Structure 1
């Protein structure tokens, strides 16, 4: 039995970054897929610490909150920078990804058709900090922090890939981010996962079947 179990809806959502991390690190995991019907029945929701998914099992450790899970995996696999300075920057990047993810979530779940034009018009400015960080780190030829991959890279990569699904070409004004996506996506184990049915067939969000 794999030591890890992801309990979540049949979407990429808030679990795809951790799935990409596990796949790239050569780890296996079990998926427990929760349907909307099961969730609406109530008992599972009531059993979750914050009344929400994902739920993540690492042996006898149960975690909720997707960013806490990513940080846990970052510590487990040495994906948290090489020192305290880099760890602080990794945290900062991850919080920046969360800001954009929340904006995107509001668009998807509340006013996609009416709001998408304005959202993607404003997207370049929201992504600018990540391009700035890339420039500052080896001229944009490496990772988002330092010279080794971190859990924030997987989270940022997931965010960017999702936006490319929702609006192809939306990264064209950020060539360093485009190159970053291509570079990370070419990592052999990650490339295999991104080509797998498990990834390809999952919608980005439950409310948007793309």
Structure 2
């Protein structure tokens, strides 16, 4: 039986949300130790954290850092880590792929929002497949409109060569 769970993180979903979702789905209770940005900036807690990062997860007397290590710990303890080592390895592979995506997302959100052509490309694909998909997402719709309006990019997007180029080999344009 696991000990008392305490999750220490900022007042956002971020890296702790998957942990919260796993705990909730498994019917587990936990205590949230919410860290304000102001408190974190003081540096006292950061100095105590392994790698200087949150989330911090406490399972009784056992303390872990790094969100994916916490998820694997909980998955093992709650029978969610596959039937054998091969299934666990496949789960690790998928999680590592998701981590790659999360890193790209972080780069986009915090560092390079206006020049991330990969996001624009995937949104264009979504708009072909589901033309109204951004109707309820004004920030993403605005992002697409702003980038589409850049003169050189606009010329490229409206070019005959691009219009003729299929999205994939299945015939979608």
Flag whether TM exceeds 0.5 (same fold): yes
Query: Which structure 1 residue ranges, 4+ long, deviate > 3 Å from structure 2?
Result: 115-118, 122-125, 164-168
- Taking structure 1 as reference, are residues 165 and 95 closer, same or farther at Cα in structure 2, changes over 3 Å only? farther
What is residue 155 of structure 2 aligned with on the other side? none
Distance in 2 between the 1:54 and 1:34 partners?
Answer: 10
Superposed counterparts of 1:122-137, under 5 Å: 122=122
What is residue 46 of structure 1 aligned with on the other side? 47
Listed one character per residue, the Cα deviations across residues 87-137 of structure 1 (whole Å, up to 9, x for unaligned) are 11101000000000000001111122x135542424799xxxxxxxxxxxx
DSSP 3-state at the match of 2:14: coil
1:115 aligns with 2:92: no
The offset of 1:84, in angstroms, is 1.7
- Taking structure 1 as reference, are residues 11 and 121 closer, same or farther at Cα in structure 2, changes over 3 Å only? same
Superposed counterparts of 1:35-184, under 5 Å: 35-112=36-113, 114-115=114-115, 118-122=118-122, 167=140
Calculate the aligned-residue CA RMSD, in Å.
Answer: 2.6
Listed one character per residue, the Cα deviations across residues 27-57 of structure 1 (whole Å, up to 9, x for unaligned) are 0100011111000111000111111111110
Listed one character per residue, the Cα deviations across residues 138-177 of structure 1 (whole Å, up to 9, x for unaligned) are xxxxxxxxxxxxxxxxxxxxxxxxxx99759xxxx9xxxx
DSSP 3-state at the match of 1:7: strand
- Taking structure 1 as reference, are residues 4 and 35 closer, same or farther at Cα in structure 2, changes over 3 Å only? same
Distance in 2 between the 1:32 and 1:82 partners?
Answer: 33
Structure 1 stretches of 5 or more lacking a match? 126-163, 174-210
DSSP 3-state at the match of 1:50: helix
- Taking structure 1 as reference, are residues 165 and 58 closer, same or farther at Cα in structure 2, changes over 3 Å only? farther
- Taking structure 1 as reference, are residues 96 and 165 closer, same or farther at Cα in structure 2, changes over 3 Å only? farther
Structure 2 stretches of 5 or more lacking a match? 126-136, 142-166, 168-173
When Rg is computed on C-alpha atoms for both structures, the one with the higher figure is 2
Residues 42-51 or 115-124, more deviating: 115-124
The TM-score normalised by the length of structure 1 is 0.56
Q: How many residues align?
A: 129
Structure with more relative contact order (C-alpha pairs < 8 Å, separation 6 or more) = 1
Distance in 1 between the 2:124 and 2:92 partners?
Answer: 22
DSSP 3-state at the match of 1:78: coil
